[in-house]
Amino acid sequence: MKKMELVPPDQIEKRSFEIIREHLTRDDLSNAEMQVLMRVIHTTADFDYEKTLVFSDGAVEQMKRLLAQGVDIVTDTSMAAAGIHKRSLTRLGGKVLNFLQDEDVAAEAKRQGTTRSWACMKKAAALRRPVIFAIGNAPTALLALEDLMQQGYHPAAIIGVPVGFVNAEASKERLLGAPCPYIVARGRKGGSNVAAAIVNALLYQVTDR
């Protein structure tokens, strides 16, 4: 039987991160990148992310600078939006945007024969201001961003971690090498909770929670 640890409630998260760090062997990450990886593993209890989480050069520092400047976060699901630490984001001047339930998005998706997630990305791109995309559920959102980039759109940054079996892997692989900062979870695993965890890991580094 596994031996129990007696840990004070206010020390549980700290002890969890200590345990995670003890098990990690990856040595190619900066401390800032390691903080992102550990929070993803803390959220999922899945050490596979040590092998699958990919950072473009300088992505974490660039995203932190964007957050410090008060950029907004665009999510593909209400769940990802709900999981982001609003107080930290608000302190920096940013907010979470999710257009999934907007009537114009539903109408555009129906008109174009696409998903609402695809239409959400088009609406976000039309804002014509820097935003960080946090995609945890819909591969079509990543595919839409790829299409928009081919048309000349320049996302400020993308967190691409959709989960699933249909186009999830392919959409993330196609994002690798994109001309913007990105964090990608290769393979089928991911999810809205992972997208939110990555955003929070970045926010906590900026706000020193």
Give the active site residue among 23, 42, 85, 154. 42
Sign of CA dihedral 129, 135, 137, 138: positive
> Which residues 6+ apart lie within 8 Å of 55 measured at CB?
29, 33, 36, 182, 183
Amino acid at 7: V
What number of other Cβ atoms are within 10 A of residue 120's Cβ?
A: 29
Side-chain-facing half-sphere of 45: CA atoms under 13 Å: 1
Rounded Cα distance between 110 and 12, Å, is 47
| Contact yes or no for 185/159 (Cβ under 8 A) | no
Active-site residue 154, yes or no? no
What residues are labeled active site? 42
